[in-house]
């Protein structure tokens, strides 16, 4: 009587996938070969692959979200003193350095270029001639008013 391969690894073997399909699952998996039954993957192996792929998709989604958040924060930090709203400057690939990370100097240059074309997007800088200037008026004192009038 020959041993039955039920898909479980032998004692001491790693449960990590090796990247190769189990025995009997060659390149022609699913294709009939002569008078033999078609070769297929075991159910456990397919479930393992699906679980690994689902985990990889989740990691990729989290990575994409992190990149998007990093870019938004880099733009927000770089243009905080230049633009009224950081959302006015959208991410472009030319704002990245050679490694693909946001480049602070390129973002600032793009923001300056944007306000040259659309000055109404710029944050007001310096004194605009409005509001109270200098020291505030002294507080009103009833006794001071009476002494001044007497």
pLDDT, one tens digit per residue, over 93-112 is 899 999 888 999 999 999 99
**Cα–Cα distance, 17 to 125 (Å, whole number):** 60
**Cα–Cα distance, 102 to 92 (Å, whole number):** 10
**Cα–Cα distance, 93 to 106 (Å, whole number):** 11
More confident residue, 84 or 25: 84
pTM of the model: 0.51
More confident residue, 3 or 44: 44
Residue 1 has pLDDT above 60, yes or no: no
Per DSSP, the residues of 105-125 read HHHHHHHHHHHHH-GGGBPP-
Torsion angle of alpha carbons 134, 135, 141, 143, nearest 10°? -100
pLDDT tens for each residue of 19-58: 565 555 555 555 555 567 777 889 999 999 999 999 999 9
More confident residue, 140 or 3: 140
The 3-state DSSP class for residue 83 equals strand
125-128 contacts, C-beta under 8 A, 24 or more apart: 125/81
Cβ-contact 45, 16 below 8 angstroms = no
DSSP 41: -
Burial-class residue 79 by CB neighbours within 10 Å (0-12, 13-18, 19+): buried
Cβ-contact 91, 75 below 8 angstroms = yes
The 3-state DSSP class for residue 52 equals helix
**Cα–Cα distance, 74 to 68 (Å, whole number):** 10
pLDDT of residue 3: 47
């Amino acid at each position: 009587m020959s041993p039955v391969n039920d898909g479980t690894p032998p004692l001491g073997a790693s449960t990590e996938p090796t990247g190769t399909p189990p025995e009997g699952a060659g390149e022609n998996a699913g294709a009939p070969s002569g008078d033999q039954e078609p070769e297929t993957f075991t159910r456990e192996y397919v479930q393992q692959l699906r679980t690994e792929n689902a985990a990889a998709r989740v990691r990729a989604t989290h990575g994409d979200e992190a990149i998007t958040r990093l870019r938004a924060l880099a733009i927000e930090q770089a243009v905080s003193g230049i633009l009224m709203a950081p959302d006015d400057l959208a991410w472009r690939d030319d704002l990245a350095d050679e490694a693909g990370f946001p480049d602070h100097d390129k973002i600032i240059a793009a923001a300056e270029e944007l306000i040259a074309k659309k000055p109404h997007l710029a944050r007001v800088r310096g004194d605009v001639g409005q509001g109270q200037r200098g020291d505030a008026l002294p507080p009103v004192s009833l006794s001071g008013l009476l002494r001044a009038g007497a």
